[in-house]
Amino acid sequence: MIELLITIAIIGILSAIAVPSYRNYIVQARRSDAQQELVKLASALENCFSLNNTYLNCLTDTGNDNVNILPSNVSQYYVFDGSGIQANRYDISVVATGSQTRDESNCHALGINSLGRKFSASSVANYHNVADEYHCW
């Protein structure tokens, strides 16, 4: 009986260590996916600008640059914000939603602009024109 209690205690201790580490790993993997998509979108914007001399209407045909154009594996956890796209510059971001908001490193908002500057912040309200304050990139 004592051996069984010791085994259960050891399993409990290992679980207490493993589960938070696994969750943190999953959050970081999802953040990495979102970063890759932001870089792809920035590349698409730059390509469009080189052809049309404007960033407007580059991401959609409808002229609404604030639709969620992320793939489903990213859009489940992040929402795209293209409201910062203007004719001669852009400022795009993704904001964490759902379980991704449990990110302990406060990387809830990630962004990139037309100068190639990468941003991060704990919330979208603090995001604009802030450097990568939490070293999320």
Give the pLDDT of residue 37. Answer: 93
Give the pLDDT of residue 62. Answer: 47
Please check whether residue 137 lies inside any domain of the structure: no
Total number of domains constituting the chain: 1
What tens digit of pLDDT does each residue of 90-108 get? 989 999 998 898 877 778 8
Please check whether residue 135 lies inside any domain of the structure: no
Could you tell me the pTM of the whole model? 0.79
Give the pLDDT of residue 84. Answer: 86
Give the pLDDT of residue 41. Answer: 92
Please check whether residue 84 lies inside any domain of the structure: yes
Please check whether residue 92 lies inside any domain of the structure: yes
Please check whether residue 35 lies inside any domain of the structure: yes
Give the pLDDT of residue 118. Answer: 87
Range of the domain at 32: 2-126
Give the pLDDT of residue 121. Answer: 77
Please check whether residue 133 lies inside any domain of the structure: no
3-state secondary structure labels for all residues of the chain: CHHHHHHHHHHHHHHHHHHHHHHHHHHHHHHHHHHHHHHHHHHHHHHHHHHHCCCCCCCCCCCCCCCCCCCHHHHCCEEEECCCCCCCCCEEEEEECHHHHHCCCCCCEEEEECCCCEEEECCHHHCCCCCECCCCC
Q: Which residues of the chain have pLDDT under 50?
A: 62-66
Please check whether residue 131 lies inside any domain of the structure: no
